[in-house]
Structure 1
Amino acid sequence: MSNLYKEDEELYTVGQFAKKAGVTIRTLRFYDKINLLKPSNYNELGYRLYNKQNFGRLQKILTLKFIGLSLEEIGDIMKYDIDDKDFKKSLNIQKKIIEEKIDHMSNVLKAIDETLIMVQKEDNLNWDKFVNVINLINMDNKWIEQYKNASNLRARINIHEKFSSNKEGWMPWYFTKLDIAKGAKILELGCGDGSLWLKNIEKVHESWNITLTDFSQGMLNDTRNNLEKWENRFNFAVVDAHDLPYSDGSFDIVIANHMLYHLGDLNKALSEVKRVLKTGGQFYASTVGKNHMKEMRDIIAQVDKNLLNMEGFTRTENFQLENGEDILKNWFRDIVINRYEDSLMVTESSALMDYIFSMPGNIKNNFSKEKFNKLEGKMKKIIKEKGSIYINKDTGFFKAIK
């Protein structure tokens, strides 16, 4: 934010901005005080000045407030917005949250209607109905969290799609390595947003019976939306990988794409994978190596090396390219590893910041504004001096046989 205004920028005084936006000056001053909406500039006398981008940020604040989020929750969502000019991204976020809120409120309304009918017709009240209403209301935080999960996954995928040196792309490359026969029954665990299939939809054989699963309903909703044109070619289910709801020997292929390290009990999940696979069936499990994104971690360590002890940076240690074979050989045979050669040349600090804050473990809550600015500053300096930030990737998969 500049201290003085630029001559060529159209700016508004706090009174002009308030009138044009239909809010009070008091509201704008309060939002400034709590760091929710800061002026873009100040004039020589120190008075607040707002630009057109501030209208976009204000619109987002008012939309999130309209659907019932507190100012604290709104601040948490917007705290690390790096580029307020990205209106498309902002509007998509708002749309997604509103859609989830509408679904949630519709379910609550349906439960209340059912309870009203029960109260009118029955002499003895069924208190389980009231408990059901309470449980539905308390799901409010869950749908927000599910949205965040899907949004975070997209942030992590985007950086690889935009800045990878290997232009084939992970999903197309991985797909070509899957040895799938005609008529195969396929199960994917942790399908995320369905990118593996969306990126390769023209290669999906009509004879395949494909079941896509995820632990998160929010993720599965994204998968359905992304594959809407081809929905009849897939089965969808919310599934816990620790307890698969399928019969023994149900599938020819099971795929776990960068998800095993997220599991609380990896051996329990692997025993389930083995159980639902047919004899001779194939298990494909992708993951990363210990040096994956090392240069990114080195930059973070310059700001605060203790941040690297957080879950988002250590979680993959549960199942990596270095230890994966030893883990899998307890359950499968003929284990083969395949590595994907790639690196990143990142030219936008905002994309890398989005990636970091999208990682598991709520990393952003452990970043003070000072650390945030310091990290962003280091990235911008490297990009200015070298043209990009080079980051090595170490990604691959294991193929194993039951």
Structure 2
Amino acid sequence: MAKLSDGLYTVGQFAKKAGVTIRTLRFYDKINLLKPSTYNDLGYRLYNKEDFGRLQKILTLKFVGLSLEEIGDIMKYDINDKDFKKSLNIQKKIIEDKINHMHTVLKAIDETLLMVEGQEALNWDKFVKVINLINLDKKWIDQYKNASNLRARINIHEKFSTNKEGWMPWYFKQLNIPKNSKILELGCGDGSFWAKNINEVSKDWQIVMTDFSEGMLNDAKKNLKEWKHNFTFGVVDAQELPYEDESFDVVIANHMLYHLNDLDKALGEIKRVLKPNGIFYASTVGKNHMKEMRDIISCVDKDLLNMEGFTLTEKFQLDSGKDRLNKWFKNVEIYKYEDSLEVSEGYAIIDYIFSMPGNIESVFKGDKFSKLEEIIKGLIKDKNYIHITKDTGFFKSIK
């Protein structure tokens, strides 16, 4: 089949090679699901090889039963389409979740069929259970977004940090956890902290993993399922801990206290569940953390710095956290991790910005997104990377 000399396909060529109709491509363009890479001088749509990857993802997600609106939401949370390994892993996870969900619904229907066949009086609670299970299908998309955002924030640090030891291994080494300790982690996310340090985790520890997000907790279970350690899991609000007084030797809160609406209430709960002389570790960032990111955003639109993603950590930072902790604990000490980023790939910065709380991605439409890309490309061109300050550390407090 003939191909344009610069590696682009007309809409007819692209449709024929991909096995879809021209009408389908025009519709996907209209709803912003698959935009052409460019247009020729006459205004005709032109597609490139990378657009086959995007189309494949759309068709895969459609195959498992997602609506075009749901597919559009997922596509928005995967900015870097050139990373096809990442894209395929995401598709694999979504398909696995969909299959598991369908098996759960099928089991519930089988149980209801047995009830219908064996009883004259129907138990309508069984039908309600099936309805509720079907509705869960709508929740895991939001859970996926949360997990995808967390992964984007972790990835930039893993790939571009100048301190090659890594934050999580360094932080874990600083913990002074006695043998036979009972440990509570609040806001465990996907369990990366323990998975990355699993060889250092003592098998005599009892580790209670909690998060406010059920989706995050499910990811943590998957990440830790192969390890024969004493992990238990629970969906928990840190402001109302469902544990008895003086239950834990250690409580850990990694980069999560600034998410809480009532920080003092949570600190009171943490103190309550700690044993006498129990240790509380709380990691966070300082006011200079990722300041170059804010400089980039300011060049696009300084008013965007008032959004939640750029103000959230002010609730609990390295600069002010000690005063908050001193109200509840004794011997509060601060430890800082020396590091910075040298980011050579612009998409990683865009991924990170769009992963921040407050739905920041929705603001960057049209000209603002183009300006953001232009600024990042220009900065990388100067030095082949963008230097970004990191201001990270933790507090160690004693009850």
TM beyond 0.5: yes
Distance 1:136 1:332 in 2: 43
- 2:155 counterpart residue number: 158
Question: Compared with structure 1, are the counterparts of its residues 373 and 42 closer, same or farther at alpha carbon in structure 2 (3 Å cutoff)?
Answer: closer
Question: Would you say the 8 A contact 2:239–2:266 is kept in 1?
Answer: yes
Q: After superposition, give the CA deviation of every residue in 1:39-76 in whole Å (9 maximum; x if it has no partner).
A: 33556665444333222111111122223333233223
- 1:378 counterpart residue number: 375
Give the secondary structure class of the aligned counterpart of 2:250.
strand
Identity of aligned residues (%): 74
Give the secondary structure class of the aligned counterpart of 1:397.
strand
Q: After superposition, give the CA deviation of every residue in 1:319-338 in whole Å (9 maximum; x if it has no partner).
A: 11122112212221111111
Letter in 2 for 1:206: K
Question: Compared with structure 1, are the counterparts of its residues 316 and 41 closer, same or farther at alpha carbon in structure 2 (3 Å cutoff)?
Answer: closer
Q: 2:285 aligns with which of 285, 288, 297?
A: 288
Distance 1:146 1:120 in 2: 37
Q: State the shift of 1:227 in Å.
A: 2.3
Q: State the shift of 1:120 in Å.
A: 4.5
1:387 aligns with 2:395: no
Q: 1:322 aligns with which of 319, 323, 327?
A: 319
Question: Would you say the 8 A contact 1:13–1:48 is kept in 2?
Answer: yes
Q: State the shift of 1:286 in Å.
A: 0.6
Question: Would you say the 8 A contact 2:77–2:145 is kept in 1?
Answer: no
Distance 1:12 1:301 in 2: 38
Question: Would you say the 8 A contact 2:112–2:127 is kept in 1?
Answer: yes
Give the secondary structure class of the aligned counterpart of 1:95.
helix
**Residues 22-37 of structure 1: pairs in structure 2 closer than 5 A:** 22-37=19-34
Question: Compared with structure 1, are the counterparts of its residues 290 and 43 closer, same or farther at alpha carbon in structure 2 (3 Å cutoff)?
Answer: closer
Question: Would you say the 8 A contact 1:96–1:147 is kept in 2?
Answer: no
Q: 2:107 aligns with which of 110, 119, 122?
A: 110
In structure 1, runs of 5+ residues without a counterpart are none
- 2:168 counterpart residue number: 171
Distance 2:180 2:99 in 1: 40
1:77 aligns with 2:74: yes
Letter in 2 for 1:354: D
Give the secondary structure class of the aligned counterpart of 1:243.
coil
Question: Would you say the 8 A contact 1:286–1:396 is kept in 2?
Answer: yes
Question: Would you say the 8 A contact 2:298–2:305 is kept in 1?
Answer: yes
**Residues 75-224 of structure 1: pairs in structure 2 closer than 5 A:** 75-79=72-76, 81-224=78-221
Q: After superposition, give the CA deviation of every residue in 1:337-362 in whole Å (9 maximum; x if it has no partner).
A: 11112111111110011011111122
Q: State the shift of 1:209 in Å.
A: 2.0
Distance 1:231 1:356 in 2: 37
Question: Would you say the 8 A contact 1:224–1:231 is kept in 2?
Answer: no
- 1:358 counterpart residue number: 355
- 1:236 counterpart residue number: 233
Residues 286-295 or 20-29, more deviating: 20-29
- 2:335 counterpart residue number: 338
Give the secondary structure class of the aligned counterpart of 1:282.
strand
- 1:7 counterpart residue number: 5
The two structures have a TM-score, normalised by structure 1, of 0.91
Letter in 1 for 2:366: K
Letter in 2 for 1:330: K
Question: Would you say the 8 A contact 1:297–1:308 is kept in 2?
Answer: yes
Question: Would you say the 8 A contact 2:203–2:229 is kept in 1?
Answer: no
Letter in 1 for 2:19: G
Letter in 2 for 1:239: V
Q: After superposition, give the CA deviation of every residue in 1:96-140 in whole Å (9 maximum; x if it has no partner).
A: 222222233333333344444444444554444343333333323
Instruction: Please report the RMSD computed on the Cα atoms of aligned residues, expressed in angstroms.
Output: 2.2
